Structure 1
């Protein structure tokens, strides 16, 4: 008996998420097909021009926008940002520093600080146990 290995594929939405790009901004042939693991690896290793341009200029999906602004995805929503943003729009927000952005950045900094404190506490407890 011979073993037949099937090719692993994923939906375009999953591939776009793994690539860190906004699905609706990708080329039609990407959105309308399926992406194999090998194709995804190839796109990551040697991105075509459309992928490089999307990563550079956007529009970016919410997780990327949140990371570039230093806030959570929930913080984006609280700030009224519900649509994908371009790199230019993100840079404009950084320059303008609206009140909601400053507030959400401070909240995110507190969350990181608390996470580090808890991690340290657990490490000390595990060491002493």
Structure 2
């Protein structure tokens, strides 16, 4: 008896998330089809022009916007940023450096410090 191995596929939304792009900005054929793991790997290793342009200019999904601004996704929401932003809009926000962005960056820095502290504490505990 031979085993039949089916090709694993994913929805376009999942593939867009893995690629770090905003689904609604992708080409129609990408949005309407399914993406196999092989196709996803090909997109990651040799991205077509549309993917390179999206990654460079946006619009970017919230996780990418948050990362580029150095804040959490929740911090974006508290700052009133709920829509995808282009690279140009992100750069403008960085230049403007509004009070909410300064505050959220400080919060994120504290979260990172606390994460490091907990990690070190757990490492010490495990070393004993």
The TM-score by the shorter chain falls in which range? over 0.9
Matched with 1:96 is 96
How many aligned positions are there? 128
Alpha-carbon distance in structure 1 between the residues aligned to 2:115 and 2:19: 27
Structure 1 residues 9-48: aligned runs within 5 Å: 9-48=9-48
Runs of 4+ in 1 over 3 A off after TM superposition: none
Matched with 2:77 is: 77
Q: Offset at 1:23? A: 0.1
Aligned to 2:114: 114
SS at match of 1:63: helix
Q: Distance in 2 between the 1:125 and 1:29 partners?
A: 52
Q: What is the TM-score when the length of structure 2 is the normalising length?
A: 0.99
Stretches of structure 1 lacking an aligned partner (at least 5 in a row):
none
* Residue of structure 2 in register with 1:66 after alignment: 66
CA distance in 1, matches of 2:114, 2:10: 36
CA distance in 1, matches of 2:51, 2:123: 41
Corresponding residue SS for 2:2: coil
Displacement of 1:15 in angstroms is 0.1
Map 1:1-16 to 2 at 5 A.
1-16=1-16
TM-superposed CA distance for 1:2, in Å, is 1.5
With the length of structure 1 as denominator, give the TM-score of the two structures.
0.98
State how far apart, in whole Å, the 1-side matches of 2:63 and 2:84 are: 10
Distance 2:125 2:42 in 1: 44
Give 3-state SS (helix, strand or coil) of 1:119's partner. Answer: helix
